[in-house]
Structure 1
């Protein structure tokens, strides 16, 4: 008799989300089955459900959501290298190499068409999930599953945006627009790398208070008519060396550009289908400013963050805003959509 499990499934043709009983997956060659212990609820999941984000590489009509996943090894497929054992505590990287692009064939450079877990193939809003063995990262016994689960996106995405794409420097001013699930961690991580001052920008008073609690030096309201002047003044009169957009809103991007110092960089982390425009492109070019796209992280970033938690340089306890059973996934999505309680991360526990 085929075993079944509960899973949160999105029908991409009708944009409907439902909890369904589906067969427990069997690991194929090189795969490991994970018993899921925690899975994060991300704004990207909300955007998948509302249709503003569309999977690029999904080959079926339905997909199990969830790209932030932790759990324990449950079963090993054929050809899994030695070292992985049932019961081992792990988190799952949020994506897989495509295995087909030139970089994957050579296996020397980052994949050009990364497949995202819970978007392009089944994710972790389920009792069990499959993962290729090279996407597993061991986690220490003292790192709670709820905190481990959010590292592969809510923490690793801003980390990669800061240290790789944005190239943040110690003692250089940085601004963060949008202090939600990723932006709050960006503040914390900018402080870890020594950026200073850190200026947070968010219209919600509670989000600005959270930014200060997470380590921002200043928290400002973007609706203030003199916001660019306030940012420039807080940054020592020169402007921002680095600005990070976690809101994915066109008005935010234009405002952030106006706050950049000469040669300053704006990194676009928040996703939106809206057009990107530069109002004063001559001044933008004259000052040598840059706009950089960013998506997710690469494999080295997640182990770095796990090590930072292991050595108590990074504390993610404040990031867990609540836990709900997997059966209440729709409630979690609704709470995040309405920003009820202004959560950093809600966690589903199968």
Structure 2
């Protein structure tokens, strides 16, 4: 049986190892993808450190990686829509019998030389878009896109705040500018992140520890406050701060994941102002990916600056460590099998 390399996480011990495993064979309705690029996400870090735990995984070990691009290497019985050699981006998850399974969490992902996918859980990658940029679209770009366009339903000229300008938040800044939000206010304690936000189109970048933050947001919004606030940090203090600067009928969209409780300090004020708190997870891949790939191909979006470095698959642990420690303040690191 032909073998391949894969970065496998043993869940009980939270141990990440590069292992030789059997190269998968596509079954009915499946395709085999030769992985060309795979993104390293903070969710991968949280799986390794134990903050996140797979809910639907069969067994105790999984190949990580939910941001994956590559080429079709083979097709299973009954597959007619894909042929070997086609460039593709894999969805970050699949829906099976009404349940959402996340790639690289609930089933094997793309930190490997090859990855399996349902024939319906991937989309074609235009030749003009490099594999590294294509790989990060699921999650790093499509998640904020879904949060902005669907959950948050941001309209042109609405004032919006983005808390946490990291791997997803920096893309939210770009996407908010694309949909016409104004002003776009980025909030992050890291000065490098604030500079990056301004470079990507934020109208104002503030330190979350700035005692004048509320006054500066009021000034930027003509005293109204923010129509929408997006928490990409998953930190209780961020959520409290965002609620304090929401406008009447403003909505707080929770994108960053945390197991900490959510508290509304002044429930009467919250209800009187008819504000909302909305949870968000992932995106509608069949809709979001073609939209984003079209905008990239058409020159409206460019994520080349988001690729902070590339490492071979064998150095997956180093990539995780660099992201966890924010070495070089990376947006996205790419693994190349």
Is this a same-fold pair by TM over 0.5? Answer: yes
Q: How does 1:49-128 map to 2 (within 5 A)?
A: 49-80=48-79, 82-99=80-97, 101=98, 113-128=99-114
Q: Per the alignment, in what secondary structure is the counterpart of residue 53 of structure 1?
A: coil
Q: What is the CA-CA distance between 1:224 and the residue it aligns to?
A: 1.1
Distance 1:23 1:233 in 2: 60
Structure 1 unaligned spans of 5+: 102-112
**Structure 1 residue 341, shift from structure 2 partner:** 0.7
The answer to whether residue 331 in structure 2 is matched with residue 333 in structure 1 is no
Where does residue 314 of structure 1 map in the other structure? 301
- Distance, in Å, in 2 between the alignment partners of 1:42 and 1:93 is 15
User: What runs of 5+ residues in structure 2 fail to find an aligned partner?
Assistant: none
The answer on 1:163 being equivalent to 2:149 is: yes
Map 1:1-350 → 2, pairs under 5 A: 2-80=1-79, 82-99=80-97, 101=98, 113-299=99-285, 300-350=287-337
Partner of 1:158, secondary structure, is helix
Question: CA offsets, 1:88-126, max 9 Å, x none?
Answer: 000001010022x3xxxxxxxxxxx31000000000000
Aligned length, in residue pairs: 336
Q: What's the CA shift for 1:74?
A: 0.2
- 1:104 aligns with none
Distance in 2, matches of 1:219 and 1:311, equals 28
The alpha-carbon deviation at position 165 of structure 1 amounts to: 0.1
In 1, distance between residues paired with 2:232 and 2:43? 12
Distance in 1 (CA, whole Å) between partners of 2:199 and 2:139 is 21
Give the 3-state SS of the residue equivalent to 2:165 in structure 1.
Answer: coil
TM-score, length of structure 1 as denominator length: 0.95
TM-score w.r.t. structure 2 length?
0.99
Q: Who is 1:106 aligned against?
A: none
Q: In 1, Cα distance between the equivalents of 2:27 and 2:258?
A: 35
**CA deviation profile, 1:196-235 (whole Å, cap 9, x unmatched):** 0000000000000000000000000000122122212212
Q: What RMSD, in angstroms, separates the aligned Cα atoms of the two structures?
A: 0.7
Which ranges of 4 or more aligned residues in structure 1 deviate by more than 3 Å? none
